[in-house]
Chain A
């Protein structure tokens, strides 16, 4: 028996991508038709995510350095390096997100767990990001005191989420969010509905990477 094995994202937009790429068992949507200038909703569920838990991720003189990157010292802190983002969630836990979308080998230590399939991973980017988000959450994503990127954990459309505010300036703000995979369908529907008035459209990974690039 030889059947093509495909890994499926929990996110399905109501349109077919015009450009896609096979990456391992994933088929990654690079571009959708009429993406426009944003705001954009991008499915990043194929990006590898790891959970790192230890009684003290910063203990033992910085014991945990996933892919050579130190774990942020304070909960809520985020570090991005070489396309990898590390979010410190609490005293004992950090999330590691591979924003590059490339495959990566998980370190062998038992402290790591592959949680790629545990969540849907979305990026909401563009000028109206916070106008859309405030329809869906009471979390203060546009807090001017916070220096992006920073992590907020709390309800987004009533669902517990990890949200990283990547940029909160007026021009090209954006957030990344993960929620339980099972909620992906309703989460995407809610975000697209909230964004309808702002011309929010699904976009492919390429649009996300362009946006990420201009943040640098």
Chain B
């Protein structure tokens, strides 16, 4: 199709060509084309096939209000081609059809079977007998649906996110939105302006109608847009669809990037102090028989095709409209070369007479109180029957374009999302907001205004009100502008007609779901008497257009036709996202934040197998052997080194520090001895064990303590919470990241340590459970603890994290002659299991008390401490029927090692395996289980069931712990 002669309003650059492929052909367009306008320019009229009936569908709104123009682009289904810019090389395929284009569809016969598919037919019929339901639903889903996603499809592109904060957020970049933004910005406020289309201007953008004097509206739009774009404290985001509006003025949106942007699409989450909603109106579709035929489009669609993209939408047109914008478009399109057979207006009166005069001057017949009642044609529109709204006469017109609209309807979704009550206004025919909440200011056409200057002034007023929300005294200015507003006509009377007098068999109220007026009637006949229920029963408005097309027509139609005396229209609920958004956009940059210890890189470089455990990355093992046997054997026979930096580490100091420790630890912390570590545990209010660790006293009212890795993040809050009413004076410092920890363990550990420090580390000077502070290599200040978690002579060195790599290297070099090797979490877990030491979380669960795991001896019964969990510990101490932690061995040492989590069964589940490993040291499997107390006596046998055991249970027996070195000689050597 040849474009019309260039106009000032064009948004295309005809000199730059763009080529895309559709079906098996290449189509050429120009820069600025959307995929839809490019295809339209090349004669494509059918863009898709409908969901149920496979009816051909064409260009209708240009703003993505329905699924008519959803196509597969570059393997991505459901792309709205009417607002997707065409880019060179795009591969476009029609969806929901057997072929590559939508012109031919073997499933088109479905259209003739609509009689067999009344509203909710499958809910009512396909469950008798019940067994056919799964089969039926599977095939219905196969036959319906929009687009097919290839499971191997990888989303191309770069998806970003931003979280700006602003004073005023203006939604809608039309004349009201722009003046609101300028008005608020004049007072030095930060303003964000969001516009769905790729440019500012809204309803002024393409219209040549005079604004004031001779200035056409589109020039006025440029003028305002330039002001907005050059005002430094206004940030305007175009091609940005708002998808949500939440409490405290949190607005979510997404923006499509153009070629110059570093993103393809980005998520925008705005926090504002005040909101202006100037989203304007969309057209309310006119309902008549076959209102979905390709060649039928809305007024704005036809007008913008010509004015913005240079495409005459058809050759011979009929207009069936309901407002002055329709008349204006007819006059302008006639001047641009469109042959117009006639214009029908649903209104009997109230038209702008200058526009009806203009039609007369162009010899275009004008029918007052008339409308389209039926369209003819199949894949292309061939004609239309018009008749009076009263439905008495009928007249047929040949045409290939029907420009149809019932009038305007406001875009109120963003108000609805904030629970604003919308009231039907009988003057405008709009759903208007009743008392918007504080900080929300509707403006512009959505209030029913039509006068261009008045629209701008309403924006200015909203901008001022928003500025007042931000603390600026605007009383005088607001008063003045309100007085100015009074001089204007105010909201105009709107068209009320919803539907022609038709049976509605093929009168589509919702294109997405193929819902007809007949379906709505059927739903009402079944007793669904409110739009919310009818929406669910018929699916009207639940498609990807998010209710754009059925929008306000559904409640209006229901109000006009239902039997109930309460006929006040009620709009249906809207929910986010208001516009379908890519999941990739929501995912954004996908920052997966995790923590690394100071040894991360060097450990990985030496073959460490890294695992994500909670927030940390930790080394599981250093070889392919999943049991890490070499690492275990080396610790038992030589010496090993483990990076234990993820332990929680804290300083608590201040006059009441000890009281705070007494409150959260179950032991009597007063009994701490200088130079010695104290092992204890923390319980919750139920007496269940939540943490364990060691505490050392470093000075008066000054303690250093450790927690398990998993609890480190909550420890400060835990202690503060449980002392919140005491008014104690103590301070907590989280040193988890400040200190790294190396565990040096094995019979040769002391020999290694002696080489790197001048301190006396002999067994006498630094005995088991001792705590010392000394320098390593004369430079590294170390807090050293003699512990025995893995059951060997063992030291923990806590050093400032920046020294960790240096210390590791020193230990490695010093330990070379003693066979030092790394070990990881797997080896540590087996080593401590052999020793019978538990890990909270592995050998305990939510309901496991201190007594259940055999640590009741830690509990200090002194009531003055009011220890967290003390009451529950007393109650549960001798409670029967609890799961107890016991050690197990296999009834026969040759039996396989049960997997962690396997259940212990007889006639019911009696417990489960917490951890079990084959012990090389002991040459048999050992484990720890939580089992009902009556099975917890030594030598009691029970069976263990595993997922894939095929009925062959493993028999285990309760065994004494520790399994290894029961006297603890090796830890104390």
Contact = CB atoms under 8 A, between A and B. Distances in A.
Interface in B252-280: 262-263, 269, 271
A104 interface: no
B598 A8 contact: yes
A55 B729 contact: yes
A193 interface: yes
Contacts of A172: none
B638 interface: no
Nearest to A120: B737
For the residues of B in contact with A, the DSSP-based class is mixed
B802 A9 contact: yes
A135 B162 contact: yes
Interface string A121-165: 000000000000011111110111000000000000111000000
Interface stretch (A13-21, A78-86, A109-117): A109-117
B737 A182 contact: yes
Nearest to A137: B163
A110 B657 CA distance: 12
A159 B777 contact: no
Interface in B788-836: 800-806, 809-810, 813-814
A115 B737 CA distance: 9
Contact of A1 (B593, B736, B756): B756
Interface in A1-29: 1, 3, 5-10, 12, 25-26
B948 to A, nearest CB: 38
A7 B733 contact: no
A92 interface: yes
B163 A134 contact: yes
A198 to B, nearest CB: 9
B366 interface: no
Given A8-B802, A135-B160, A142-B165, A113 B591 contact: no
Given A143-B165, A186-B591, A25 B805 contact: no
B597 interface: yes
Interface in B728-781: 729, 731-739, 755-756, 777, 779-780
A134 B596 contact: no
A184 B803 contact: no
A53 B731 contact: yes
A3 B598 contact: no
Interface residues of B, number: 58
Contacts of A93: 731
A145 B735 CA distance: 34
A58 interface: no
A119 interface: yes
Nearest to B700: A110
A186 B779 contact: no
B801 A115 contact: no
B164 A110 contact: no
A87 B366 CA distance: 75
B729 A134 contact: no
B699 A110 contact: yes
B653 A110 contact: yes
Contacts of A92: 731
B506 interface: no
B737 A117 contact: yes
A180 B735 contact: no
A190 B737 contact: no
B21 to A, nearest CB: 31
Contacts of A142: 165, 190
A51 interface: yes
Given A8-B805, A110-B701, A116-B802, A1 B597 contact: no
- Among B164, B263, B738: residue with most chain A CB under 10 A: B738
Contacts of B186: none
Contact of A117 (B702, B755, B801, B806): B801
A180 B738 CA distance: 8
Interface of A: 1, 3, 5-10, 12, 25-26, 45, 51, 53-55, 92-93, 110-111, 113-119, 134-140, 142-144, 157-159, 170, 180-187, 190, 193-194, 196-197
Question: What 9 A-B pairs are tightest by C-beta distance, nearest first?
Answer: A182-B595, A197-B262, A118-B738, A53-B731, A140-B165, A7-B802, A138-B163, A181-B737, A117-B801
20 contacts: A1-B756, A1-B813, A5-B777, A7-B806, A10-B598, A25-B806, A53-B653, A53-B733, A54-B731, A111-B731, A114-B800, A136-B163, A136-B591, A157-B593, A158-B593, A170-B232, A183-B593, A183-B595, A186-B591, A190-B589
